Structure 1
């Protein structure tokens, strides 16, 4: 522990309560990871767990408009059924915007702590903007090695008024341009299942949208920590921009026995966006598509940023297996509930891995 911290309480106050974050911890001259950030062995990823032949699917979205439409839909569906994630290129989001977005993230997290602390929970003037560190630091035994700022979208006007000046223009444009990607992918995924979901229903299922900027400072002992614990996303689809450093890993397979998991690194590809399926889409598809369990490893080399856009249902929207699929399968693998019920349970219970899905499982 850096010499300026007398005990774990003063460390926690500095990092979490005062808003200095992991970046402030590293900037203080930290030379080794404090005990509170050392993850239990089962949370870490070891070299022997990495898949020998990484299976990464890169899909050219522009081909959805051409003669290869059917083959592209099959490739999207296959990735959704087997891995829960894939990468897309020629997706329509300007590459210049993606570069500006990464620079804007670095600009926000590079500010003095008091500037960022204005967005701490309970201090922010806007409930739709939240700056913090780890996930639920007051409840976690081992903290995660990342800082974040979370921006929930309501209207363009609110975003431009309340989102941080350092990144609001880029974040808003990223959210808006990624919306078309989500719509096209969901049309392909539902079409592959032979079901038609009306536009109004799709809008409700993806109506809760937010831009989440992650910042992972370099770590003196990356083998002991994680940037983000193992989890799956709650919503429908996540659109993720990662920089060129790498560190995102997806779990291969749904029911691998503990200790025998294989993890696939999602390599950074310039101009590509990572798409991963969330729990809500797994529920709606009656288990046909699988949400991607993933984690983030830390690095000692350089600060890393990643910027997902989460697309989830409005809280009051009911989620459950689509009736056409239940009739075809002869069984409903998940019960119907509101997204708010699902989300509240996830926040109250162990979020590790895909434990949250047990709450919805019949």
Structure 2
């Protein structure tokens, strides 16, 4: 049986045991009808949703991909990667039913009893490639994020078939497969502007040799103004392809030191694309990985499904030779991808501090 509400609010260890060790997650807290947010989730004042500055009347680009071969489409992709770091794409070719199916499967996974979900948690999962958890880095964080997740690292179809949860593996795999073409075409356009005229096998491994898909679940929150769904950060990926539902809550920081944040409104059938740190490093800073965050919601549960497209863990990332061949000076050193990722995951979300790790 779950602890009573009064115990939860008064005993810190009970909250963590209930959420993490017993597998109820923040979903379990939300379903208890709490009238106040447990103290573990109260963020420092400067990180709370109620204190951030929202830019009005601005939005990231929305690019129509109906004609992939139109040079203007490639130009729009590269311009957005340079000037915004984020953009949405519509008419991209991933069927709407595939998107709807993976959203439905996400709700169904998080609707499972805690004793089913806990089977995929750290220490109980049969593989490190499948992980159910909560927040981002609970060991390192002073304040927890109001989010549960299922993280699925793709090794092979056989591995996924054997270890991914049966209720969502087919839908998650189908979303990944159908997005492959989109990812490849986006990278071809982005590489072309960097004077990489062909993505050979070596470049393919470097750019998209590793993939991970997350099912993210943000329950309705009793005090959304005091916490965050995800704290401000940039992704470590090459690219991230994000499917969000119609609730909203994703915010992107404006470039050039501006403190304002721009809401990324849900567009039916769209995918949100953002540049990750790996591509910022490979482009020597031409393409930008941008801080983003998710605000908790006091009225509705939100889900999102990102596909993180990464170099392989054993790859070394640094400015591409084609970028530097004109004499441009490198801003970043070469770093082992696995070292970079470990540096990212060992600390709380902290803006873009991780990319500083790679600077010369």
TM-score scaled to structure 2, two decimals? 0.95
Tell me, yes or no, if structure 1 residue 346 matches structure 2 residue 344: yes
Q: Pick closer, same or farther for the CA change 1:156–1:292 going to 2, 3 Å.
A: same
SS at match of 1:3: helix
Calculate the aligned-residue CA RMSD, in Å: 1.5
1:220 pairs with one of 222, 228, 236? 222
Contact kept, 8 Å, 1:205 with 1:317, in 2: the verdict is no
Q: What corresponds to 1:104 in structure 2?
A: 105
1:58 pairs with one of 59, 62, 67? 62
- Encode CA deviations 1:249-272: one digit per residue, 9 max, x unaligned: 01110434xxxx111100000100
Contact kept, 8 Å, 2:246 with 2:268, in 1: the verdict is yes
SS at match of 1:118: helix
Question: How far off is 1:9 after superposition?
Answer: 0.9
SS at match of 1:62: coil
Q: What corresponds to 2:323 in structure 1?
A: 325
Distance 2:32 2:7 in 1: 8
Question: How far off is 1:197 after superposition?
Answer: 4.7
Tell me, yes or no, if structure 1 residue 297 matches structure 2 residue 295: yes
Contact kept, 8 Å, 1:231 with 1:354, in 2: the verdict is yes
Question: How far off is 1:348 after superposition?
Answer: 3.0
SS at match of 1:229: strand
Q: What corresponds to 1:273 in structure 2?
A: 271
- Encode CA deviations 1:50-89: one digit per residue, 9 max, x unaligned: 1122122111122223xxx111111111110111010011
Contact kept, 8 Å, 2:136 with 2:145, in 1: the verdict is yes
The aligned length equals: 355
Distance 2:68 2:17 in 1: 51
Contact kept, 8 Å, 2:248 with 2:265, in 1: the verdict is yes
- Encode CA deviations 1:118-171: one digit per residue, 9 max, x unaligned: 001010112211000001112210000000000111111211221111111100
Q: What corresponds to 1:210 in structure 2?
A: 212
Distance 2:199 2:221 in 1: 47
Contact kept, 8 Å, 1:16 with 1:137, in 2: the verdict is no
Contact kept, 8 Å, 1:2 with 1:31, in 2: the verdict is no
Distance 2:84 2:49 in 1: 18
Contact kept, 8 Å, 1:84 with 1:292, in 2: the verdict is yes
SS at match of 2:68: helix
Q: Pick closer, same or farther for the CA change 1:333–1:197 going to 2, 3 Å.
A: farther
Q: What corresponds to 1:240 in structure 2?
A: 242
Distance 1:305 1:354 in 2: 24
Distance 1:206 1:266 in 2: 25
Tell me, yes or no, if structure 1 residue 196 matches structure 2 residue 197: yes
Distance 2:321 2:348 in 1: 30
1:93-132 aligned at under 5 Å gives the runs 93-132=94-133
Contact kept, 8 Å, 2:236 with 2:341, in 1: the verdict is yes
Q: Pick closer, same or farther for the CA change 1:333–1:83 going to 2, 3 Å.
A: same
Distance 1:16 1:174 in 2: 28
- Encode CA deviations 1:260-317: one digit per residue, 9 max, x unaligned: x111100000100000000000000000000021000011111110000001011111
Q: What corresponds to 1:73 in structure 2?
A: 74
- The more displaced of 224-233 and 323-332 is 323-332
Q: What corresponds to 2:46 in structure 1?
A: 42
2:335 pairs with one of 334, 337, 344? 337
Contact kept, 8 Å, 1:350 with 1:356, in 2: the verdict is no
Distance 1:212 1:329 in 2: 39
Unmatched 5+ stretches in structure 2: none
Unmatched 5+ stretches in structure 1: none
Q: What corresponds to 2:175 in structure 1?
A: 174
SS at match of 1:166: coil
SS at match of 1:93: coil
Contact kept, 8 Å, 1:32 with 1:221, in 2: the verdict is yes
SS at match of 2:298: coil
SS at match of 1:59: strand
Tell me, yes or no, if structure 1 residue 2 matches structure 2 residue 19: no
Q: What corresponds to 2:187 in structure 1?
A: 186
SS at match of 2:67: helix
Distance 2:165 2:217 in 1: 15
